[in-house]
Every structure is written in structure tokens, then in C-alpha cells.
């Protein structure tokens, strides 16, 4: 009898050492607003533990297991703190877990009515409104905006196209720094461009347009799993300049 009790006690102790089950952790996460999880150490640890597994299973195939994005998938580096879309904290332009949660829930240009889909990079090729020469000039100006050596005369012509016929300023702002409310790229930060920053890639982007998609996950993951993934991604860039 003593032997049975000691074995049972050891089993209970071992179960306690293993910590709460995934189901228990998810239940706590589901009942807590995602931004509040950061202030609750135990829930925060649970979120990071579950979030890593959720990310690996659902997001790593596009964003990479290290969250740094994959060139062939044209996905952003989630660890650099340079977010294409601003969150709701427009006073400080700082991203919070709820902003990441929204993207995971509804996606980007996913077809869901709540997705972030205000802007696409339209094709500007000759069938649209720019000639090959004007696209070449605009590419030169974009190279200038990103701080690289250019043909000054051609870049000046490109600046006129950018500000007038091309209507590029409408999404990228007159100074080319991008509009996070729309999700338009900052043309002064070529390291954040998803489709390449060399001349040929810029010309192709201008000519053909770009319309990347992030799928919605609200119908694939539970609310707790989505919150956990949002915390995990947020923490991957924590402490950086948002």
C-alpha cells in the first residue's frame, strides 16, 4: 500500500512539474484580451510556448522558422520592427499584440471583408498609363529615394512622373516614405521591400504590379491559438524601434 501511494505521489509530482496542459493554457489565453497578456507573466509564458508551436505549424512555411521572411515567398522579416501596416496606436506608431492578432485573424488581401486590403501595387505598364521610358525614369527616382547612386537627370524626370502621371505619391506619400494606414512600402527602406530592390525588380514591380496575400486564420485556428501566435510574433521584435 505504501508503495502504491508513493508511486501515485511521484506521478502527481511529475505532472505538476510538467506544467499546465496546452488546453489549460489556451483556455486562459482565450479569456484574456491579447494586449493584457503581456502584463500577466504566467499567461505570457504560456502564450510564447503555445505561440511558437502555432507559428511553426501555420506560419513558418511562408515567414521562415526564424521569422525573418523568405525571399521566394516575398514575406516580411517579422523581427526587424519595420511593420508595413501601422497599428491602432497612431500617437506613437507602435505595434501592439492586438494589431498582429488582427492580421492573423483576417489576413491581408485574403478576400475576408475585415482583411487589410486598402491598397495594392497596381500595374503601371503601357496598357495602364506609363510608357517603358517613364517606368525606367521612375525606377531611377526610386533608386534615388533609397539612397543609391543614380543618373540625376533621369531621376529628376522620374520624380515628375512619380508626382504627376504615375500618381505614385497617392499611396507612397510625396516623400516616398509610405503610408502605414494603407500598407504601402517605404521607398527609403529597400531592405523592407518584398519583391527585390535592384533595378530590374523595381521595373517589374512598376510594370506588372504586386498584390501579395496573407491568408485569414480565424476559421483555421482557435482564438487562444491566434492570441498566442500574436504574442510570439510581437515578442520576436520586442525592444526594437517600432
- Report DSSP letters for 1-22, one per residue: -HHHHHHHHHHHHHHHHT-S-H
- Report DSSP letters for 194-213, one per residue: TT--SHHHHHHHHHH-B---
123 assigned to some structural domain: no
Q: What is the CATH number of the domain that holds 159?
A: 1.10.760.10
- 96/185 same-domain check: no
Boundaries of domain holding 54: 21-118+214-236
Cell matching residue 218: 480565424
- 61/169 same-domain check: no
8 assigned to some structural domain: no
Kind and range of the H or E element at 62? helix 60-63
Q: What is the pLDDT along the chain (242 residues), one digit of tens a residue?
A: 444 444 444 443 444 456 678 888 888 899 999 999 999 999 999 999 999 999 999 999 999 999 999 999 999 999 988 888 888 876 666 789 999 999 999 999 999 999 988 788 999 997 789 999 999 999 999 999 999 999 999 999 999 999 999 999 999 999 999 998 899 999 999 999 999 999 999 999 999 999 999 999 999 999 999 999 999 999 998 654 43
- 174/222 same-domain check: no
| pLDDT for the residue 14 | 40
| pLDDT for the residue 89 | 78
- 202/229 same-domain check: no
The CB-side HSE value for 182 (13 A sphere, CA atoms) comes to 15
- pTM for this predicted structure: 0.85
6 assigned to some structural domain: no
Task: Give CA–CA dist 28/77, Å, rounded.
Answer: 29
| pLDDT for the residue 19 | 67
63 assigned to some structural domain: yes
- 195/229 same-domain check: no
- 25/90 same-domain check: yes
SS (H, E, C) 159-176: HHHHHCCCCCHHHHCCCC
126 assigned to some structural domain: no
Q: How many domains does the chain have?
A: 2
- 62/48 same-domain check: yes
Residues 6+ apart with CB under 8 A from 218: 105, 106, 112, 226
- 203/225 same-domain check: no
175 assigned to some structural domain: yes
- 111/221 same-domain check: yes
- 63/170 same-domain check: no
Task: Give CA–CA dist 185/179, Å, rounded.
Answer: 7
- Report DSSP letters for 93-152, one per residue: TB--HHHHHHHHHH-BSSS-TTSB-S--B---STTTT--HHHHHHHHHHHHHHTT----H
16 assigned to some structural domain: no
| pLDDT for the residue 20 | 78
- 92/152 same-domain check: no
84 assigned to some structural domain: yes
- 44/114 same-domain check: yes
Amino acid at each position: 500500500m505504501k508503495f502504491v501511494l508513493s508511486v501515485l505521489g511521484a506521478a502527481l509530482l511529475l505532472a505538476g512539474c510538467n506544467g499546465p496542459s496546452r488546453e489549460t493554457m489556451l483556455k486562459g489565453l482565450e479569456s484574456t484580451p491579447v494586449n493584457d497578456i503581456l502584463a500577466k507573466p504566467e499567461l505570457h509564458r504560456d502564450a510564447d510556448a503555445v505561440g511558437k508551436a502555432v507559428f511553426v505549424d501555420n506560419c513558418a512555411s511562408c515567414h521562415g522558422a526564424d521569422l525573418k521572411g523568405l525571399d521566394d515567398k516575398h514575406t516580411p522579416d517579422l523581427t526587424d520592427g519595420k511593420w508595413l501596416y501601422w497599428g491602432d496606436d497612431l500617437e506613437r506608431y507602435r505595434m501592439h499584440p492586438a494589431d498582429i492578432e488582427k492580421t492573423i485573424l483576417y489576413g491581408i488581401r485574403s478576400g475576408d471583408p475585415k482583411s487589410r486590403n486598402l491598397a495594392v501595387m497596381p500595374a503601371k505598364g503601357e496598357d495602364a498609363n506609363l510608357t517603358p521610358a517613364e517606368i525606367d525614369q521612375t525606377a531611377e527616382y526610386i533608386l534615388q529615394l533609397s539612397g543609391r547612386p543614380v543618373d540625376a537627370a533621369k531621376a529628376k524626370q522620374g520624380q515628375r512622373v512619380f508626382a504627376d502621371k504615375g500618381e505614385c505619391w497617392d499611396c507612397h506619400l510625396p516623400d516616398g516614405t509610405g503610408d502605414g494606414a494603407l500598407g504601402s512600402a517605404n521607398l527609403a527602406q529597400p531592405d523592407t521591400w518584398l519583391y527585390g530592390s535592384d533595378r530590374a525588380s523595381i521595373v517589374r514591380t512598376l510594370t506588372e504590379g504586386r498584390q501579395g496575400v496573407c491568408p485569414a486564420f480565424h476559421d483555421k485556428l482557435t482564438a487562444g491559438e491566434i492570441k498566442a501566435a500574436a504574442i510570439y510574433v510581437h515578442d520576436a521584435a520586442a525592444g526594437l524601434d517600432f
